Amino acid sequence: MTDQKGKLSPLLKQATGVTAAKGEGAYIIDPEGRRYLDFTSGIGVTSTGHCHPKVVEAAQKQVATMIHAQATTVMNPRLPELAEKLGELTPDPLNAFFFSNAGTEAVEGAIRLVRQATERPNIIVFHGGFHGRTMGSLSLTTSSVGLRAGVSPMMSGVVVAPFPHAFHYGWSEEEATDFCLRELDRIFVTYSAPKETAAMFIEPVQGEGGYVPANTRFMQGLRERCDKHGIMLVFDEVQAGFGRSGKFWAHDHFDVTPDAILIAKGLASGFPISALAASEETMAKGWPGSQGGTYGGNAISAAAAIATIDVIREEGLVENAERMGKRLRSNLESLKKDYPDMADIRGMGLMLGVEMRRGDAPDGERAGNILKECEKRGLLMLRCGPYQEIVRWLPPLIVNQEQIDEATRIFEEALNATA
């Protein structure tokens, strides 16, 4: 027995100095009653805002009825209900779902499924991608060495291909796409033969790596190669999905249908739940018993997810994300004219990033200082990118025009305060 009080691990770093005593729509309120405009959405999670009354009501009702209907022991009636609703949103024939708790678990489920279904070992991922922090998903992650440092060796069978990040390469989108597709073909003859390649995993809009959208020709190029070689195409929509990009799925922008979709974050407005979606036929190729887990598909989270989908539909939140995303982008584009250190503005819908540079060099320090100045003025934001040089904007999908304009006004003050 120790008489020392327990504390949080010193490895847990918080991006802000704020204590969140209460959440209300687009705001976080601290114990002193100070209101912060929350443009982090808990890393893209609180899609319907904090504590949306319909989500709260659904969760409260479920808590009082049944909390832990363990999914591999009994039938939790919320799960088929949720699957039915999700099936209306996912593209055909992806209407079978495996539910788990976090994004990373959906990725792990997909790694197992693609290897079992194809009986092939290798997985191609794209440089800068983020897929999670558990050993399998971390092995697919190449957004920052900080995540991988000190934990190697990773899972084997992962091949990293270039992502068409035109701004990074300093090329046009056409040039970047040509290069990436050419390198992918080269991988098939130098590294991972098509017959040894189970799947490609890609974020349609890279998140942690720097808010970089893929493009239609690239995504269609992946689809063609997957079809030709019997490789599965898996879209990790954990961050960019569920309305955030201004369309329901980020891949809707590219007119390409994947073989599996990974869903989490915005799915239940803050309750932990994630899903792997695939066709029934593909799911049936997995190993019996390989999908499970103690808490996966928790009844409260599932009830909150059903309510979240209803709210997104009833309140037209995907359309709102598109409209407000346009407004935000246009505000930022106007600012860029006066602030050339805003080197690039990119992303989709309400998933936008502003890359800060000093001359040609990524400027993570400036981006960090901007966040501090924003926080002083009541706006919470996050950063991303390998140098933490990208200020990212991911407000809840309920955000309104006044809040967007207020946030950009604060951002401009922060630019001036850090110049």
Ligand X SMILES: Cc1ncc(COP(=O)(O)O)c(C=O)c1O
Residues lying near ligand X in the complex (CB under 6 A) are found at 43, 102-104, 107, 130-132, 203, 207-208, 236, 238-239, 264
Shortest Å distance, C-beta 130 to ligand X: 5
CA–CA gap between residue 280 and residue 302 (Å, rounded): 20
Residue (130 or 393) nearer to ligand X, CB? 130
Work out the widest C-alpha separation in the chain, in whole angstroms.
64
Residue (28 or 202) nearer to ligand X, CB? 202
Residue (39 or 188) nearer to ligand X, CB? 39
Reference 237, options 229, 291, 224, 219; nearest CA is 219
The amino acid at residue 42 is G
Characterize the bridge pairing of strands 197-202 and 232-236. Answer: parallel
Shortest Å distance, C-beta 56 to ligand X: 22
- Measure the CA dihedral 321/327/331/337, to 10°: 100
Residue (104 or 282) nearer to ligand X, CB? 104
Residue (49 or 266) nearer to ligand X, CB? 266
Shortest Å distance, C-beta 312 to ligand X: 19
Shortest Å distance, C-beta 259 to ligand X: 17
Q: Is 78 helix (H, G, I), strand (E, B) or coil?
A: helix
Shortest Å distance, C-beta 133 to ligand X: 6
Residue (104 or 122) nearer to ligand X, CB? 104
Q: H helices within 127-286, ranges in order?
A: 135-139, 145-148, 166-169, 173-190, 216-229, 280-284
Q: Is 94 helix (H, G, I), strand (E, B) or coil?
A: coil
Shortest Å distance, C-beta 193 to ligand X: 27
Kindly provide the b/e burial profile for residues 153-163, where b requires at least 16 CB atoms within 10 angstroms of the residue's own CB: eeeebbbebbb
Residue (50 or 392) nearer to ligand X, CB? 392
List the Cα angle 176/337/205 in 5-degree steps: 35
Residue (126 or 188) nearer to ligand X, CB? 126
Shortest Å distance, C-beta 197 to ligand X: 21
List the Cα angle 240/177/148 in 5-degree steps: 55
Shortest Å distance, C-beta 139 to ligand X: 13
CA–CA gap between residue 202 and residue 211 (Å, rounded): 13
CA–CA gap between residue 106 and residue 156 (Å, rounded): 19
Q: Is the Cβ–Cβ distance between 101 and 120 less than 8 Å?
A: no
Residue nearest to ligand X (CB): 103
